[in-house]
Structures are given as C-alpha cells and as structure tokens.
Chain A
C-alpha cells in the first residue's frame, strides 16, 4: 500500500511541460481575479491622482453632461413638452451610453497603455480590456444613484420586469463593449488608427440610438429598411430597455390632465415603447455575444504579436 502510493507520487511531483504564452482567453481571467482587482484599483488611483475631488468627479461629469443636454434639447428644442419626465428619459439613456463609451474607449487603449507590462511579463492580456468593465462600473454606480433619485421624484415605481430590463440593458452594453474593446484593442497595437475610429464610433453612438430623442421621431421619418437597420444596432434596444426600466414606470401614475396629454401624444406619434422590444432585445443579446466571440478570437489571434509590435 505504502509502496504503491510513493511510486504513484513520483511522477505527479513533476509538473507537466507547458508551452509558455498561451492563455485560455476570457475563461482564464477568472483565475486572475486578484490581479484584475489590483489593476482596477491602479487604474482608478492613477486616474484621480493629485485630484482634490477624486472620485467625486464621476458625479460631476455626468451631471454637467445631463444639464447641457437638458437645457439644449429639453428647453430650447422643446422636447420637455412632448415627453413626460424628459429629464429621466434623457438621463437613463445617457447613463447607458456613458457606460458603453467608457468600457469601449478605455478597453481600446488598454493594451497600448500597458505596453510596459505586455512587453516584459506574460499575463493573460485580456485582463486589460476586462478590467475596464470594473472601472466603468465604479463610475456607473453614482450615475445610477442620481438617476434613481430623479426617477423617484418623478413617480418611479418599478415592477420586477422593469428592473430586469435595466439589468439586461447593462449586461448587453457590457458584453458588446467588451467584445468591441477586445477587437479594437488588439488592432490598435498594429494600427493606432483604431483608437481614432473608435472615437468616431463613440461620437456617433450617442446619436444613433434613442438617447436624446424618442424612437418614434425616427420611425416616423425613415423608410422601413432603415428602421430595421436602426433597430439592429444592439445599443438601440439596450437604451430602450433602460427607458423601460427607469422612465416608463414614471408614465404610469399620472394625473388626469397629464394622462390626457399623454394619450394625445400617443395618438399622434405612437406608443411609448417601441414595437417588438422583447424581440429586438433578444437579437441585441445575440449580436453582443457574437461581438464578444469575434473580439476574443481576433484578440487571441493577434496577441502573440503584441510584445514585438509595441
């Protein structure tokens, strides 16, 4: 008994020969949780170094952004009139888009910015784009708090389905942004044009989904095929789900006068929620997963060249 167990121990003592520099991709990242957490903390520390307000800036920036849009669009362009609780409508979309922009933009630059590390020490490089989700989440929370505060003041009483919609929206955004971030961060190592292309995407993104306006303004203007393209943008259903979570419930408990005004709007433009939202949301989930798969494949393919190209 003893003899067999020691005999069996010999070979297991010897670790297997492994090829260095081959990670398991995204699935491997979970094993590096500790490093991931440290990278997130580093990123936040570095971003707010020498700053008095520090993390408070993550409240100030979206607040100013919101005020600018609210004054320009809500008051000057009169969107307040047509949409009940327009500030809540506006901000719920902005929060979603900000989350997307931050993950996608930061992830794209993450590999190049960590060139020192990439060139000298092997670690799963997916960690850099992935860590940006956590960084973005740290900034998302204060925005969500402000948003919920504003929504509550506007009579927000969400049901479980509304909250689920919000959760799914943020999930879609995170998956899509990570997929695109993986793709563009890898390409960015070879061609720095990638980060400029991404900046363009981000600029267009805010306007190519119903963040600042309502869906029927698009629907009533564009031909059907363009509407289909518009809805195929995975961000469009995600933003609508954000609306369904934070804004739509505020339209359900209105005074008689407000109800009449809303009924007139609906008769004129169409319902508050876009048609076939659940279906488009499923499609959006599928598209985001495909983006993640493509991003991971390209990233894995290119990462062997990172160290020599940086």
Chain B
C-alpha cells in the first residue's frame, strides 16, 4: 500500500515586499503617492501529492518558487492559501549548516544541530559515532567550527542531516559544495535513504545529479506547476523551455 507522504493542496504563497521601513522614508514615499508595498506571487495554486518512498526532483529556473515550496513543506513558512499535509518528521538540508554555530566545537554542533532537526539525546548518542565517521572530521571534533575549512564544515553538516532519520527528507542545492569523492558518498547515502522508504524532495540546478537520484520530476515556472512526469522527460521539458 502506498500512501501520500506529502500532500500539497492548492497552495499559494505571496510575498509582500516592503520597500522601506523608516518613518521618514515612509512619509516621503507616501507624499509622492508611491505604493509602499509590492506583492509578489511566489507560488500560484500548486497542487501535488508525493508518495511515500518517492524521490522527487523539483525543477525550475531561478525564482520559479522551488525553495519557497520546500520551506512550506518544512514548516518554516506557512501558505497564504491552501494547505499542506506531511506524514512524519520532515528534516533536511535547506541550506548547508543552518543551525550550526561557529563558536561551538564540532561535537557540540552535532548535538545542537541534531536536536534542532528533531533528534532526541538518545538518538544522537546512538548515532554519534556514525555521524563522525561519515563526516571524516574526527580529528577536529573538539575544535571550534569557525576554524573548519568550508569542505569540513559542509561534510559535518551533511553527516548530521542524513543521520536524522526523517520521514521526509528535503535537499536544497547542497551537494554542490563538497568535493567529488564526498559527493559520491553523499549521493550513495541519499539513495540509501530512499531505499529505506524515506521520501526525498530535492532541489538542484545540477540536472545530471538530479537525474541520477530522482525518479519523478516536476517543473515550476513563475510559481505554477507546469509539468509532472518521470525525471528524464521533466529535465528535457525544462531545457526546452525558454528562460523567462
């Protein structure tokens, strides 16, 4: 039996871009009769069901609403219209090292980041060695993260995220940072997560990589869902469509 892991029911998201905030500037703008706000429709009536265990690639050029959709699924933002349902725990890498603090050591960051992503103390204790092994930074575990190279930082952040055992795993443009050997390990690990029946939703401009990992692809354009098929034809469709 396959159930929907994520249901996106006619979701719209509007951003109000406020140009200015100081009282003086507001008075000047008003007196010139200019509009103080500018409404931007980031997502326009998007409806989508994602099955449990599915690996979905979210495609689209910059500004098409991919990241906004991920943020709505993760709960960081709320939709203006429509609703979203998610089964189980959502976690993932919306951005590398979100929730890492430069002044804490690698060890402390593993705990802080793990807890931020919803892990319990017992879970982290149990997976701690795996996380360290995966990241390959065991020598620097008690060094403050600000002294890490960007590669080390990324590997540690990624290691924590893939060990959080989420039901729905969100990946936003993160694999570009690591070097090639680590990318290979990372992709293998993501595929492993999919095999365990976890749902994957991935955003990346690295189309060959998306094609390797995902089965299904949807294309967003100016906030609207314009294409939904297997990943191969979705990528073809995206490449043919002109950049707006």
Residues of A within 8 A of B (CB): 10, 14-22, 32, 34-35, 38-39, 41-42, 45-46, 49, 116-123, 191, 304, 307-308
Contacts and interface: CB of A to CB of B under 8 A. Distances in A.
**Lowest 4 A-B CB distances belong to which pairs?**
A21-B75, A20-B75, A17-B85, A120-B98
Contact of B101 (A17, A46, A121, A308): A46
B116 interface: yes
Contact of A120 (B4, B84, B95): B95
Contacts of A307: 71, 76-77
Contacts of B121: 34
B29 interface: no
A116 B98 contact: yes
A121 B86 contact: no
B76 A17 contact: no
A283 B81 CA distance: 42
Interface in B19-76: 21, 71-76
A117 B98 contact: yes
Contacts of B1: 10
A20 B83 contact: no
Given A21-B75, A116-B98, 13 more contacts: A15-B87, A19-B85, A20-B84, A21-B74, A21-B77, A32-B115, A42-B112, A45-B108, A116-B99, A121-B74, A121-B94, A122-B75, A307-B71
B104 interface: yes
A46 B76 contact: no
Interface residues of B, number: 38
Given A18-B86, A20-B84, A122 B21 contact: no
Contacts of B117: 121
A135 B108 CA distance: 18
Contacts of B147: none
A120 B112 contact: no
B63 to A, nearest CB: 15
Contacts of A308: 15, 77
A17 B4 contact: yes
* Interface hub of B78, B103, B111 (most chain A Cβ within 10 A): B78
A16 B99 contact: no
Interface of B: 1, 3-4, 7, 15, 21, 71-78, 83-88, 90, 94-95, 98-99, 101, 103-104, 108, 111-112, 115-118, 120-121, 167
* Interface hub of B74, B77, B90, B112 (most chain A Cβ within 10 A): B77
A201 B120 CA distance: 38
The secondary structure that dominates the A interface is helix
Contacts of A39: 112
* Interface hub of A17, A42, A118 (most chain B Cβ within 10 A): A17
Nearest to B117: A121
A11 to B, nearest CB: 10
A35 B116 contact: yes
Contacts of B112: 35, 38-39, 42
A22 B78 CA distance: 9
Contacts of A38: 108, 111-112, 115
Contacts of A42: 101, 104, 108, 112
Contacts of B78: 21, 304
Contact of B116 (A19, A41, A121): A121
Nearest to B23: A193
B211 to A, nearest CB: 26
A117 B83 CA distance: 23
Given A21-B78, A121-B117, A308-B15, A15 B98 contact: no
B99 A120 contact: yes
Nearest to A114: B99
A121 B114 CA distance: 11
B101 A20 contact: no
Nearest to A46: B103
Contacts of B71: 307
Contacts of A122: 74-76, 90
A17 B7 contact: yes
B87 A17 contact: yes
Nearest to B101: A42
